[in-house]
Amino acid sequence: MLTSDFICLRPLEDDDLEFLYALENDPSVWGVSDTLAPVSRHVLRQYLDSAAADFFEVRQLRLVIEETRTRQALGTLDIFGFEPLHQRAGIGITVLASHRRRGVARAALGLVVPYARQVLRLHQLHCTIGADNRASLRLFRAAGFWRVGVRREWLRTESGWQDAVEMQLLLAR
């Protein structure tokens, strides 16, 4: 169910340490991951050791986006902030810079939306996107997400404060 001819979404594995180290320590993604500092291999090893915990217990799930043919890790897809009562969760996608604008994130969303609806039984997914991130806004809009609001000066960037666009997808439709 989480596989296409192009990509698959799979759980984290022990040998993902170096991939995660490169991804988490790329300063270009720090603004969307709410971090300002590098992450050590030790911290990532601890994270990998606990990553197999049950989604309904830890209320988050990180999947690796992997190219089907080469089995190369291209990015991650996170489902986070799961609210059991309201059956909703946030979603975020990070793709390595060398693989952006090749349809990786679009393919990942295409796989995870039915999974969120049918397996996780979520009612909705939501995301927060920097107002100047036009590629992500187009991506989520094309996947059926609707803009539901703007948080003014929500994200601090190197050039100042930036608005954040809130989007959601109702899965029952």
Instruction: Say if pTM beats, i.e. exceeds, 0.95.
Output: no
Q: Which residue has the tokens 């089907």?
A: 68
What distance in Å separates the CA atoms of residue 123 and residue 85, rounded to the nearest whole number?
10
What distance in Å separates the CA atoms of residue 149 and residue 128, rounded to the nearest whole number?
10
- Condensed to tens digits (0 to 9), the pLDDT of residues 142-162 reads 999 999 999 999 988 878 899
What distance in Å separates the CA atoms of residue 109 and residue 140, rounded to the nearest whole number?
8
Nearest to 94 by CA among 133, 132, 55, 40: 133
**Cβ atoms of residues 91 and 144 within 8 Å:** no
Nearest to 76 by CA among 44, 42, 41, 40: 44
At 78, phi and psi to the nearest 5? -115, 135
Q: Is the pLDDT of residue 33 over 80?
A: no
Report the length, in residues, of the chain: 173
What distance in Å separates the CA atoms of residue 12 and residue 157, rounded to the nearest whole number?
30
How large a percentage of the chain has pLDDT more than 70? 94
**Cβ atoms of residues 75 and 95 within 8 Å:** yes
CATH architecture of 7-170: 3-Layer(aba) Sandwich (3.40)
- Condensed to tens digits (0 to 9), the pLDDT of residues 99-148 reads 999 999 999 999 999 999 999 999 999 999 999 999 999 999 999 999 99
What distance in Å separates the CA atoms of residue 22 and residue 33, rounded to the nearest whole number?
14
Strand order, beta sheet including 88-95 = 7-11, 61-67, 73-83, 88-95, 124-130, 160-170, 146-157
Quote the strand ranges of the chain, DSSP E.
Answer: 7-11, 61-67, 73-83, 88-95, 124-130, 146-157, 160-170
How large a percentage of the chain has pLDDT more than 90? 66
